[in-house]
Amino acid sequence: MKNTKELRTWLDDLKLDHPLVVAGPCSAETEDQVLKIAHELKDSDVNYFRAGIWKPRTRPGNFEGVGALGLKWLQKVKAETGMKTATEVANAAHVKLALEHDIDLLWIGARSTVSPFIVQEIADALEGTDKIVLVKNPVNPDLALWLGGIERLYSANIKNLGVIHRGFSTYEKTRYRNNPEWQIAIELQNRFPDLPLICDPSHITGKRDMIFEVSQTALDLNFDGLMIETHYDPDNAWSDAAQQVTPSTLIEIMDDLKIRKETDTEADYRNALNTSRTQIDVIDHQLIEMLGKRMKVADQIGRLKKDKNVAVLQSRRWNEILGKMILEGEENSLSEEFILRVFKAIHQESINHQEKVING
């Protein structure tokens, strides 16, 4: 992509004094449900009303969406409330129908971004459109796949592009439904600073109680907007019940979020500082998690040594590790003195862990 500046235009044209907000139910269920939610959101800061019409479900047998019929309901939303509309498309037929029904914003879901064939098919079907197209990150934490999706759309001459960060699936259970792995979104932002970046805290958290905190982190990381699933009766939603909020909760969340506007040089400075500090917090959190994992492996080694009655301290192995880390440190602009201090501390903690295992 040569001139990424043009990627920002559609968002700048909206001239918003708050982050972009896309809200509405996970799934369109009935005409009444869609219209009721839309009317409750009509006078809020919501810019685009979302509803899933075709639902990609991980396992068969769940509600798979109402299909093309729901597009008529979205048209009614626009006619009755003036809100622009948004839905997910996952193949060329969906694109054709969505364009025929004048949907304003289309997004590519996480399960589609993983497939270059699907993304290419959608890009070809959208060729030259001036609709806004947002690419969700792929389900798995793979930046290249996400970038590939953006590049395919950009090459199809779709200029009003953006991305949605909805977290990444993990095999191990975490406190999130989809782990945010903020560093991947930060990396994408560093590569394409002008590509509008939206956070989807609903699919990241999977729990309505955590939506506020994740939204605030996203805004602190300079995200341009939020996509939040909203339903008048979340507990009885036909999909993603645990993560949807009511329209009034959404409005409260929007009111309570600290939104940093870039108005003067002092504010610019504080904004930049705040973004960097949040990035540091994300990295520190990862460091602690990695160190915790390393000590668990040390415990495992302790158990093996205990079985074989082998001494905890193995100097040759330790010197090998240090040598390797000093070289890797150099490649990452870290001084030898620093590496020695850090690894001595890590090594001491590993020994303590192993001794605890061996001596009980």
List residues near Mn ion by CB under 5 A.
26, 240
Cα–Cα separations (whole angstroms), residue 148 to 110, 117, 142, 336: 13, 11, 10, 38
Q: For residue 110, state whether it binds ligand PEP (rule: CB under 6 A).
A: yes
The DSSP bridge partners found for residue 162 are 134
Nearer to ligand PEP (CB atom), residue 163 or residue 221: 163
d(CA 142, CA 185): 11
By CB under 6 A, which span of 104-112, 155-163, 320-328, 345-353 interacts with ligand PEP? 104-112
Tell me the closest approach of the beta carbon of residue 332 to ligand PEP, in angstroms.
33
For residue 105, give the H/E element and its range. strand 105-108
By CB under 6 A, which span of 32-40, 75-83, 105-113, 326-334 interacts with ligand PEP? 105-113
Q: For residue 163, state whether it binds ligand PEP (rule: CB under 6 A).
A: no
Q: For residue 177, state whether it binds ligand PEP (rule: CB under 6 A).
A: no
With tokens 């199809």, the residue in question is: 156
By CB under 6 A, which span of 70-78, 108-116, 279-287, 331-339 interacts with ligand PEP? 108-116
Q: For residue 136, state whether it binds ligand PEP (rule: CB under 6 A).
A: yes
The DSSP bridge partners found for residue 133 are 106, 161
Nearer to ligand PEP (CB atom), residue 7 or residue 163: 163
Amino acid identity of 20? L
Nearer to ligand PEP (CB atom), residue 52 or residue 329: 52
Binding test (CB under 6 A) with ligand PEP, winner from 10, 37, 49, 52: 52
Tell me the closest approach of the beta carbon of residue 25 to ligand PEP, in angstroms.
9
Nearer to ligand PEP (CB atom), residue 136 or residue 208: 136
Widest distance between CA atoms in the chain: 77
Restricting to residues 197-226, name those near ligand PEP by CB under 6 A: 203
User: Of 185, 165, 245, 177, which is closest to residue 205 (Cα–Cα)?
Assistant: 177
Q: For residue 70, state whether it binds ligand PEP (rule: CB under 6 A).
A: no
DSSP 138: P
By CB under 6 A, which span of 16-24, 106-114, 117-125, 335-343 interacts with ligand PEP? 106-114
DSSP 335: -
Tell me the closest approach of the beta carbon of residue 57 to ligand PEP, in angstroms.
9
d(CA 99, CA 350): 59
User: Of 195, 248, 240, which is closest to residue 222 (Cα–Cα)?
Assistant: 195
User: Of 268, 276, 221, which is closest to residue 201 (Cα–Cα)?
Assistant: 221
DSSP 142: -
Task: Give the interface with ligand PEP as residue ranges (CB under 6 A).
Answer: 26, 52, 56, 109-111, 136, 166, 203
